């Protein structure tokens, strides 16, 4: 069942005096399991709602509404379906003490895959679960494949059901669902010939497999070499070449790239980032595929178009080692465009360790330590995604405490640099 979290004013639900906290048990006789069920079942314009009020009383509402007229119910978030795997590369096993509570959740929820593009393994879905995906047309889905060889995937995920992945994908495709896939590349586990086999197997399933992203394994000082080690530079370069071979084949046969190396794979390999054409429709930015190229191109374009006059200020850009070089290269152009003194601070990740180089996983305390002698006129730009919706850094440090420690400097959180400077 689904609990009502909010009722929109003036809506059908408001007129019926439905109450926040009321649970919706059935719609038109069908059991409501979660928010996706509710959305699916509320599509009819004639509705029979069976509810349980907060005081325990049961009520049935008969509703007639115009097609497309919203009911006005905002459901409470669903409980996340947690992961049943024990992946040898699980990033959660690399979390230190003090990390935000939500980062301990091992989610493997197909609803998040459909709604937000989160990658799931399908290991916690049996035949009935797959049938539901088909029945409700939950497409596209985002699936972490990692390897198509059953033995290799079982070893990686430590789950006997992991070996069913090709049968599961084939079933989804046979029923006209589309799937985006990814491989987290682990040296000595699923690279080399295993990577070739996985790409070949997925490509052979046809165009229902829309994309394949290859992402390097991310390890922290708490789980490195336990049992997975980091990729070496030569191994990442080899992987980029393997992905590119399939990319060329897909371009010739299907007219788009299909397989993509993640930004971090290029950076670890010491390769130049490809141009925007590499990423086709740029649909995989949230998975770290083309996000750096998009960020840099937007920064260059908006810097050229003009930025506010900030003479007398010092712009201090905080970032991780992955992006520091790119931003240092662009600091002269930013200085010229704004008249400000621009300083790029490459922040060492002590919280997770030096193997973690992305800016979004920098802790508040590490960012604080990177800013020496803050003064009036300093504009401190924080990396995007370092803060959650509650303004907490990944180490649970509140933004307000961070700002107080750096007063009288001005802190601008979650930057896109041009937008941040225009907001001043």
- What integer pLDDT is reported at residue 81 of this predicted model? 74
Percent share of the chain, pLDDT over 90: 74
- Under the banding of pLDDT at 50, 70 and 90, the label for residue 114 is low
List the chain domain ranges.
2-75, 91-288, 295-422
Q: What is the pLDDT of residues 194-249, one digit of tens each?
A: 999 999 999 999 999 999 999 999 999 999 999 999 999 999 999 999 999 999 99
> 267, 275 in Cβ contact below 8 A?
no
Distance, CA of 137 to CA of 139 (rounded, Å): 6
CB 287 within 8 A of CB 261: no
Mean pLDDT of 45-58: 90
Question: Which among 333, 366, 328 has a CA at the least distance from the CA of 349?
Answer: 366
Nearest to 314 by CA among 273, 359, 345, 275: 345
In the predicted model, what is the mean pLDDT of residues 134-151?
95
- What's 63's DSSP letter? E
Rounded mean pLDDT, 72-100: 86
Structure tokens belonging to residue 419: 């937008």
pLDDT at 148 over 70: yes
Q: Which tokens in the block code for residue 145?
A: 């494949």
How far, in Å, CA of 304 to CA of 334, rounded?
A: 9
Q: For 101-232, where are the alpha helices, taking DSSP H only? A: 110-116, 127-135, 150-157, 165-174, 193-204
* pTM of the complete model: 0.87
Average pLDDT (327-334) is 97
Q: What is the mean pLDDT of residues 134-159?
A: 95
CATH homologous superfamily for the domain 91-288 = pyruvate-formate lyase- activating enzyme (3.80.30.10)
User: What is the overall mean pLDDT for the chain?
Assistant: 92
Report the relative pairing of strands 314-319 and 341-346 from DSSP bridges: parallel
| Fold classification of 2-75 (topology level) | Pdz3 Domain (2.30.42)
Domains 2-75 and 91-288 alike in fold? no
What is the per-residue pLDDT across 270-318, written as a single tens digit (0 to 9) for each? 999 999 999 999 999 999 999 999 999 999 999 999 999 999 999 999 9
Cβ 52 vs Cβ 1: under 8 Å: yes
The span from the CA of 298 to the CA of 282, in Å, is 14
DSSP 257-306: --EEE-HHHHHHHTPPPPPGGGGTT-TTGGGTSSHHHHHHHHHHHHHHH-
CATH number of 295-422: 3.40.50
- How far is residue 162 CA from its own chain's centroid? 22
| pLDDT score of 347 | 97
Q: Which of 169 and 42 is assigned the larger pLDDT?
A: 169
Pairing, β 209-216 against β 179-185: parallel
Cis bond leading into 410, ω under 30°?
no
Instruction: State whether the Cα torsion 195-274-286-250 is positive or negative.
Output: negative
The residue ranking higher by pLDDT, 96 or 81, is: 96
First-last CA distance in the chain: 46
Q: What is the pLDDT of residue 38?
A: 84
Residue the block writes with tokens 């009520």 = 59
pLDDT value for 41:
86
The pLDDT score that the predictor gives to residue 111 is 60
């Amino acid at each position: 069942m689904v609990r009502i979290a909010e009722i929109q004013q003036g809506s059908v639900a408001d007129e019926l005096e439905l109450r926040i906290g009321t649970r919706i048990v059935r719609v038109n006789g069908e059991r409501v399991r979660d928010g996706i069920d509710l959305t699916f079942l509320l599509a009819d314009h004639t509705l029979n709602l069976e509810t349980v009020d907060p005081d325990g009383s049961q009520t049935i509402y008969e509703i007639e509404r115009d097609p497309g007229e919203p009911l006005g119910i905002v459901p409470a978030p669903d409980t996340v379906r947690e992961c049943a795997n024990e992946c040898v590369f699980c990033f959660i096993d690399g979390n230190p003490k003090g990390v935000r509570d939500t980062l301990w959740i091992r989610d493997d929820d197909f609803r998040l895959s459909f709604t937000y593009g989160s990658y799931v393994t399908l290991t916690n879905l049996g035949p009935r679960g797959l049938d539901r995906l088909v029945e409700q047309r939950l497409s596209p889905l985002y699936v972490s494949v990692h390897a198509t060889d059953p033995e290799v995937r079982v070893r990686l995920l430590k789950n006997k059901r992991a070996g069913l992945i090709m049968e599961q994908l084939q079933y989804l495709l046979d029923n006209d669902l589309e799937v985006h896939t990814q491989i987290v590349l682990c040296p000595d586990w699923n690279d080399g010939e295993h990577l070739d086999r996985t790409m070949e197997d997925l490509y052979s399933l046809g165009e229902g497999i829309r994309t394949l992203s290859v992402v390097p394994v991310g390890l922290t000082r708490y789980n490195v070499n336990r049992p997975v080690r980091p990729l070496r530079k030569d191994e990442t370069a080899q992987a980029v070449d393997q992905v590119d071979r399939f990319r060329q084949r897909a371009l010739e046969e299907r007219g788009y790239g299909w397989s993509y190396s993640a930004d971090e794979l290029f950076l670890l390999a010491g390769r130049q980032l490809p141009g925007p054409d590499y990423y086709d429709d740029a649909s995989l930015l949230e998975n770290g595929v083309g996000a750096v190229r998009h960020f840099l191109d937007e920064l260059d374009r908006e810097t050229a178009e003009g930025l506010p006059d900030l003479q007398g200020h010092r712009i201090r850009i905080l970032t991780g080692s992955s992006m520091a070089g790119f931003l240092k290269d662009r600091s002269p152009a930013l200085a010229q465009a704004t008249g400000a003194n621009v300083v790029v601070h490459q922040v060492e990740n002590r919280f997770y360790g030096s193997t973690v180089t992305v800016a979004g996983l920098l802790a508040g305390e590490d960012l604080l330590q990177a800013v020496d002698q803050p003064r009036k006129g300093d504009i401190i730009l924080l990396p995007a995604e370092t803060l959650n919706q509650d303004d907490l850094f990944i180490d649970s440090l509140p933004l307000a405490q961070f700002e107080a420690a750096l007063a009288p400097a001005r802190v601008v959180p979650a930057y896109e640099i041009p937008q941040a400077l225009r907001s001043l």
